[in-house]
Amino acid sequence: MKTNNMPRPNGAQPPMKRKLNFGALKRVLKMLFSYYPVLLPVAIACIIFSAIASAIPAIFNQQVIAAIEEWYISRDWAAARSEIVPKIVVLAVLYAISLMAVIAHTQLMAIITQGFLGKMRKTMFNGMQNLPVRFFDTHKHGDIMSYYTNDIDTLRQLVSQSIPALLQAGIIVTSVFFIMLWYSIWMTLVVIAGVFLMLFVSKKIGGGSAKYFIRQQKAIGKTEGFIQEMMSGQKVVKVFCHEAKAQEDFDRINNELFQDSRRANAYANCLGPIIMNIGNVLYVIIAMVGGLFLLSGAKNFSISGMAFEISIIIPFLNMTKQFTGNVSQVTQQINSIVMGLAGAERVFALMDETAETDEGYVTLVNATEDENGNITEDENRTGIWAWKHPHHDGTVTYTRLTGDVRLHDVDFGYTDEKIVLHNIDIYAEPGQKIAFVGATGAGKTTITNLINRFYDIADGKIRYDGININKIKKSDLRRSLGIVLQETNLFTGTVMDNIRYGRLDATDEECITAAKLSGADDFITRLPDGYETQLTNNGANLSQGQRQLIAIARAAVADPPVMILDEATSSIDTRTEAIVQRGMDRLMQGRTVFVIAHRLSTVKNSDVIMVLEKGRIIERGSHEALIAQKGKYYQLYTGAFELE
């Protein structure tokens, strides 16, 4: 029996990790280098150069101060000027080049960041198109939207600000550290002691900040999911006077976001001032230590071998400020890094979702059939479809698509623990109309989902024109099936665009013909702009019946040999139902049709009616035969037993 691996329940999140996900950072960097193998190294080179250029002035300062000291003693200004002026010129040139490097790397990072995010969104969306229906059934749509907005924005901050700032600060700290060692190892050790204190505080406070920033990211997704759900169901909220309860639920979810954000920012906001003041205290300590060393005549211990002088202590103070300032800069980036990695982790989780598998190799092709019944493939649209079946020996056979659908001993469960269909046997011959009736949850829609392969069966066989549907490519299988749902989805665009959604290469004339077939042409021509009328918000400016007629026209323009009508008239009035029913009757002519309906009057003319109960077919036959049996269908039809 096949195993169904279910994702986490709606809204469930994996256990929260307190440590940063450096695997996500490594993956971000790998993708950046793969997307920009030239621009990114150039930008990094500019960052490195500007960082080194920021550290070098300490050396020039020491030399200039030493020259001034020498002038003060010798009073030889000419000699001092010959020492000072060239160094100032070199320093000015260095700063100018550094400025150009900064401008270059900021411009390059803007290009790289936006390009990276654009490619990420494209990769996410393309991958999402290949996810199974199961994923969308088990995840809030608002939470999915949060991947493309909030989580992507945290990646923008990570790539454009945090990583460059971290790299730049790291290089400056390293450069300044070695310069300090060159001048005085004793004073460098004092600075290092202060820096260890800064890092200790950063770890304690930053750890709490990281934990709550990760929770904040998840809470944002949950909040956006709830808002999207409430927006979609606003009419229901108002009809049932549910505003107070909706407000209560939102307040609870929003309070969770508030608490996580408050704690995260409370940690983050106190980190900067604490680190900055530790740096200020360290600055004072270095000044005092340097003064004591100078007054006591202590021997300096350094790589350069230079003695303690004013020319060392003053630049050392500036280097201390620069060193601690950049350490502080690193700690300040912790928040953005944590948020960015939390966002990256969620984005990569979406990108790593298991795509819908498709081992099918039988494809759907246009075909022609000669007088002897031989089928050949045709590049043009002929109105005849065939299954192209390649074999291991290299030969290819063609089977005409007739719409013969058969289910043999099918078992299925959305989870392994709960099987919802048991031993389902259905034989739909070409051109037959098969109806499913039964209470909600009996398994009617589930059967059509299996025919579409939105879900794969646990056991049994489904054959389409004698071919196991597991062998048919899913895209070709679904192209051969038309479906009209109870919940109609119309997209932003014109009426013509929405009809053409059934077949993107359909001409305007074919779309209009399909609309006339469905009965939609009459009301469309009375719209302000006819077929060019713009639809928004799922066609909110149309009635439910009009939207359903457009959905039927969409199915008609696809011209599939098999149709699935899932309670397509259950939410419209009786008069509109008659119009829609006529459109569906015209659409069903000559096709194999599966109909799901609560109104039994719509399935009386079906060739076979199947009554389902708790995932089993308990009765089957024509309307007349089932009435004569006086079983469950008879009770349903006569009103002795309610469907719900």
The backbone torsions φ and ψ at residue 26, rounded to the nearest 5 degrees and listed phi first, read: -60, -40
Number of CB atoms found within 10 A of residue 35's CB: 15
Cα separation, 299 vs 611, in Å, equals 100
The angle that helices 310-351 and 22-35 make with each other, rounded to 10 degrees, is 90
Pairing verdict, β 616-621 and 459-464: unpaired
Q: Is residue 305 left, alpha or beta, with left meaning phi > 0 and alpha meaning psi from -120 to 50? A: left
Q: What is the 3-state secondary structure (H, E, C) of 586-628?
A: HHHCCCEEEEECCCHHHHCCCCEEEEEECCEEEEEECHHHHHH
Q: Which of 229, 11, 257, 264 lies closest to 139 in space, CA to CA?
A: 11
438 close to 612: Cβ distance less than 8 angstroms:
yes
pLDDT at 396 over 50: yes
| Highest-confidence segment of 69-73, 149-153, 611-615 | 611-615
C-alpha–C-alpha distance, residues 4 and 449, integer Å: 15
Least confident of 235-239, 242-246, 503-507: 235-239
643: left (phi over 0), alpha (psi -120 to 50) or beta: alpha
Q: Kindly report the average pLDDT of the chain as a whole number.
A: 81
- Residue range 244-284, pLDDT digits in tens: 877 888 888 888 888 888 877 777 677 767 777 777 788 88
DSSP 482: E
Per the model's pLDDT, the better-predicted residue between 64 and 72 turns out to be 64
Q: With both helix axes pointing from N to C terminus, report the angle between 544-558 and 508-518 in degrees, rounded to the nearest 10.
A: 120
- Higher pLDDT: 513 or 372? It is 513
pLDDT for position 565: 84
User: Is 615's pLDDT higher than 50?
Assistant: yes
Confidence at 209, pLDDT banded by 50, 70, 90: low
User: What is residue 15's predicted lDDT score, i.e. its pLDDT?
Assistant: 38
∠135-136-142 over CA atoms, to 5°?
125
Q: Indicate whether 210 pLDDT > 70.
A: no
Q: How far are the Cα atoms of 180, 277, 289, 534 from residue 173, in angstroms, in the given order?
A: 10, 18, 21, 59
Strands 363-369 and 459-464: unpaired
Name the pLDDT band for 32 (thresholds 50, 70, 90): very high
Whether the per-residue pLDDT at 641 is higher than 80: the answer is no
Q: What is the pLDDT, as a whole number, of residue 575?
A: 66
Residues 6+ apart with CB under 8 A from 251: none
By percentage, how much of the chain surpasses pLDDT 70? 87
Tens of pLDDT, residue by residue over 512-560, are 998 888 888 889 999 989 999 998 877 878 888 888 888 888 888 888 8
Query: What is the spatial distance between Cα 160 and Cα 574, in angstroms, rounded to a whole number?
Result: 59
Closest residue by Cα to residue 179 from 280, 302, 330, 50:
302
In this prediction the pTM is 0.70
Mean pLDDT on 36-58: 87
Cα(197)–Cα(326) distance, integer angstroms = 15
Pairing label, strands 592-596, 562-566? parallel
236, burial (CB in 10 Å: exposed 0-12, middle 13-18, buried 19+): exposed
Cα 475 to Cα 308: distance, rounded to the nearest angstrom: 79
Q: What is the mean pLDDT of residues 38-66?
A: 82
The confidence score (pLDDT) of residue 18 equals 43
State residue 642's pLDDT score. Answer: 46
For residue 530, the 8-state DSSP code is G
Judged against a pLDDT cut of 70, whether residue 68 lies above it is answered with no
Can you tell me the mean pLDDT for 380-406? Answer: 88
DSSP 207: H
Per-residue confidence (pLDDT) for residue 70, from 0 to 100: 65
Tell me the CB-side half-sphere exposure of residue 526, using CA atoms within 13 A. Answer: 7
Q: Is residue 407 very low, low, confident or very high in pLDDT (cuts 50, 70, 90)?
A: very high
Lowest-pLDDT choice from 67-81, 223-237, 269-283: 67-81
Angle at 418 between CA 416 and CA 424, to 5 degrees: 95
pLDDT over threshold 90, residue 405: yes
Among 41-45, 59-63, 301-305, which stretch is predicted with the lowest mean pLDDT?
59-63
Locate 12 and state its tokens: 């469930």
Q: Could you report the per-residue pLDDT of 421-470, keeping only the tens digit for each?
A: 999 999 999 988 999 998 888 888 889 889 988 888 888 999 999 999 99
What does the alpha-carbon distance between residue 567 and residue 486 come to, in Å, rounded to a whole number? 5
Tokens of 430: 């070409």
State the helix-helix crossing angle for 243-296 and 185-232, rounded to 10 degrees.
170
Q: Given this model, what pLDDT does residue 14 score?
A: 40
Helix axes 39-55, 57-74, angle to 10 degrees: 20
* DSSP per-residue string spanning 542-576: S-HHHHHHHHHHHHHHH--SEEEEESTTTTS-HHH
Burial class (CB in 10 A: 0-12, 13-18, 19+), 487: exposed
Strands 433-438 and 562-566 turn out to be unpaired
Cβ atoms of 620 and 611 closer than 8 Å: yes
**H-helix segments, 352-423:** none
- pLDDT for position 568: 63
Q: Which residue has the higher pLDDT, 509 or 198?
A: 509
CB atoms under 10 Å from CB of 324, counted, come to 25
**pLDDT tens by residue, 110-162:** 999 999 999 999 999 888 888 888 888 888 777 788 888 888 888 988 898 88
pLDDT band at 8 (very low <50, low <70, confident <90, very high): very low
Distance (Å, rounded) from C-alpha 399 to C-alpha 379? 17
**Residue 411: predicted pLDDT:** 92
The pLDDT of residue 62 is 67
* Domains along the sequence of the chain with CATH: 22-351 (1.20.1560.10), 363-400 (no CATH), 405-638 (3.40.50.300)
Amino acid at 500: R
Q: State yes or no: pLDDT of 490 exceeds 90.
A: no
Q: Which amino acid is at 592?
A: T
Which residues have a Cβ under 8 Å from the Cβ of 169 and sit 6 or more positions away?
Answer: 51, 326, 327, 329, 330, 333
- SS3 assignment, position 201: helix
